[in-house]
Chains A and B, each alone.
Chain A
Amino acid sequence: MLAPMAAPPTAATPSSVAPTDPLGVAGSDASLRRFLHGLPGVDQVGVESRAAGLATRSIKTTAKAYALDLAVSMVDLTTLEGADTPGKVRALSAKAVRPDPTDASCPAAAAVCVYPDLVATAKQALGSSGVKVASVATAFPSGRAALDLKLADVANAVADGADEIDMVIDRGAFLVGDYRRVLDEIVAVREVCARPGGHDAHLKVILETGELATYDNVRRASWLAMTGGADFIKTSTGKVQPAATLPVTLVMLEAVRDFRRATGRMIGVKPAGGIRTTKDAIKYLVTVNEVAGPDWLDPDWFRFGASSLLNDLLLQRQKMRTGHYSGPDHVTLD
Chain B
Amino acid sequence: MTEIPTPASPFAYAPAPESTSVVDLRTSYGLFVDGAFVDGRGESFTTLNPATEQPLAEVAAADAADVDAAVKAARRAQERVWGRMPGRERAKYLFRIARIIQERSRELAVLETLDNGKPIKESRDVDVPMVAAWFFYYAGWADKLEHAGYGTTPVGVAGQVIPWNFPLMMLAWKVAPALACGNTVVLKPAETTPLTALLFAEICQQADLPAGVVNVLTGAGETGRLVVGHDDVDKVAFTGSTEVGRQIARAVAGTRKKVTLELGGKAANIVFDDAAIDQAVEGTVNGIFFNQGHVCCAGSRLLVQESIAEEVLDRLRARMSTLRVGDPLDKNTDVGAINSREQLDRITELAAVGEEEGAGRWAPDCALPSTGYWFRPTIFTGVTQAHRIAREEVFGPVLSVLTFRTPAEAVEKANNTPYGLSAGVWTEKGSRILWMAERLRAGVVWANTFNKFDPTSPFGGYQESGYGREGGRHGLAAYLQEENR
Q: Do A and B bind each other?
A: yes
- List 18 other contacts, CB 8 Å, given A45-B449, A59-B16: A1-B277, A5-B2, A6-B2, A40-B276, A42-B276, A43-B276, A43-B448, A46-B449, A47-B279, A61-B14, A63-B11, A66-B10, A254-B278, A260-B2, A260-B4, A261-B1, A261-B4, A293-B4
Complex CA–CA separation, A47 to B16 (angstroms): 25
Interface residue count on the A side (C-beta < 8 Å): 41
> Does B255 count as interface, using CB distance less than 8 angstroms?
no
Q: Is A29 an interface residue (CB 8 A)?
A: no
A297–B275 contact, CB under 8 A?
A: no
Contact flag A261-B2 (CB < 8 Å), given A46-B448, A57-B13, A58-B331: yes
A214-268 CB contacts (< 8 Å) to partner B: 254, 260-262, 264
Query: In the complex, A66→B9 CA distance in Å?
Result: 12
Q: Which of B274, B275, B332 contacts A57 (CB 8 A)?
A: B332
Among candidates B7, B12, B274, B448, residue contacting A63 with C-beta atoms closer than 8 Å: B12
Q: Is A60 an interface residue (CB 8 A)?
A: yes
Give the distance to chain A from B276, nearest Cβ to Cβ, in Å: 4
Residue of A nearest to B3 (CB): A261
B345 at the interface (CB under 8 A from A): no
- Asked whether any CB of chain A lies closer than 8 Å to the CB of B282, the reply is yes
Q: Does B121 contact A (CB under 8 A)?
A: yes
Contacting pair B283 A56 (CB below 8 A): no
Interface size band for B: 20 to 34
Task: Considering the complex, give the chain A residue whose CB is closest to the CB of B334.
Answer: A53
Knowing A62-B14, A285-B11 touch, does A2 contact B279 (C-beta < 8 A)?
no
Where chain B touches its partner, the secondary structure class is loop
Sorted from nearest, which 6 A-B pairs have the closest CB atoms? Answer: A46-B279, A58-B16, A294-B9, A58-B331, A43-B276, A43-B279
Q: List 16 A-B contacts (CB under 8 A).
A: A9-B4, A42-B276, A43-B279, A50-B282, A58-B13, A58-B332, A59-B13, A59-B16, A66-B10, A66-B11, A261-B1, A262-B2, A293-B9, A294-B7, A294-B9, A297-B9
Q: Is B6 an interface residue (CB 8 A)?
A: yes
- Whether A172 sits at the interface, judged by CB under 8 Å, is no
The yes or no answer to A175 lying at the interface (CB within 8 A) is no
Complex Cα distance, B16 from A64, in Å, reads 11
Given the interface pairs A40-B275, A47-B279, the reply to whether A67 lies near B2 with Cβ below 8 Å is no
CA distance A55 to B174 in the complex (A): 33
Asked if A294 contacts B4 (CB within 8 A), the reply is no
- In the complex, the chain B residue whose C-beta lies closest to that of A251 is B278
Is the C-beta of B103 less than 8 angstroms from some C-beta in chain A? no
Contact B11 A294 (CB under 8 A): yes
The answer to whether B13 and A63 touch across the interface, beta carbons within 8 angstroms, is: yes
B355 within 8 A of A: no
Give min CB distance, A3 to chain B, whole Å: 7
Residue pair A63, B14 in contact (C-beta under 8 Å): yes
B residues bordering A, Cβ < 8 Å? 1-2, 4, 6-16, 121, 125, 274-279, 282-283, 308, 311, 322, 331-332, 428, 448-449
Identify the closest chain B residue to A67 (Cβ).
Answer: B11
Residue of B nearest to A289 (CB): B11
In contact, A42 and B278 (Cβ under 8 angstroms): yes
A276 to B6, CA, bound (A): 30
Does any Cβ of B come within 8 Å of A127's Cβ? no
Chain A contacts for B2, CB-based, 8 A: 5-9, 260-262, 264
**Chain A residues near B276 (CB-CB < 8 A):** 40-43, 46
Of the residues B1, B10, B322, contact of A297 by C-beta under 8 Å:
B10
A295 within 8 A of B: yes
Contact A294 B332 (CB under 8 A): no
Q: How far apart sit A314 and B443, CA to CA, in the bound complex (Å)?
A: 53
Q: Which residues of A contact B (CB under 8 A)?
A: 1-3, 5-9, 40-43, 45-47, 50, 56-64, 66-67, 70, 254, 260-262, 264, 285-286, 289-290, 293-295, 297
Contacts A46-B283, A46-B448, A58-B16 known; A3 to B1 CB distance under 8 Å? yes
> Hey, which chain A residues are within 8 Å of B9, CB to CB?
289, 293-294, 297
Check A262 against B1 for contact (C-beta < 8 Å).
yes
Taken together as a complex, chains A and B put the C-alpha atoms of A260 and B221 apart, in Å, by: 55
State the Cβ distance, A293 to closest chain B Cβ, in Å: 6
A residues in contact with B10, CB < 8 Å: 66, 294, 297
For residue A66, which residue of chain B has the nearest CB? B11
Q: State the Cβ distance, A61 to closest chain B Cβ, in Å.
A: 4
**Chain A residues with Cβ under 8 A from B428's Cβ?**
41, 43
B448→A295 contact, CB < 8 A: no
Contact, CB under 8 Å: A56 / B125? yes
Separation in Å of the A64 CB from the closest CB of chain B?
7
**CB-defined contacts of A56 to chain B, threshold 8 Å:** 121, 125, 331
What is the distance, in angstroms, from B109's C-beta to the closest C-beta of chain A? 13
Q: Is the CB of A42 within 8 A of B1?
A: no
Complex interface: chain A residues within 8 A of B449 (CB)? 45-46
Contacts of B322 in A (CB 8 A): 290
Bound Cα distance from A286 to B428, whole angstroms: 28
Residue of B nearest to A263 (CB): B2
Instruction: Considering the complex, give the chain A residue whose CB is closest to the CB of B279.
Output: A46
Q: What's the Cα separation between A3 and B310 when bound, in Å?
A: 13
**Of all chain B residues, which has the CB nearest A297?**
B11
Shortest distance from the beta carbon of B20 to any chain A beta carbon, whole Å: 16
Q: Determine the chain B residues whose CB is within 8 A of the CB of A61 once the complex forms.
A: 14
Residues of B within 8 A of A289 (CB): 9, 11
Residues of A within 8 Å of B7, CB to CB, are 293-295
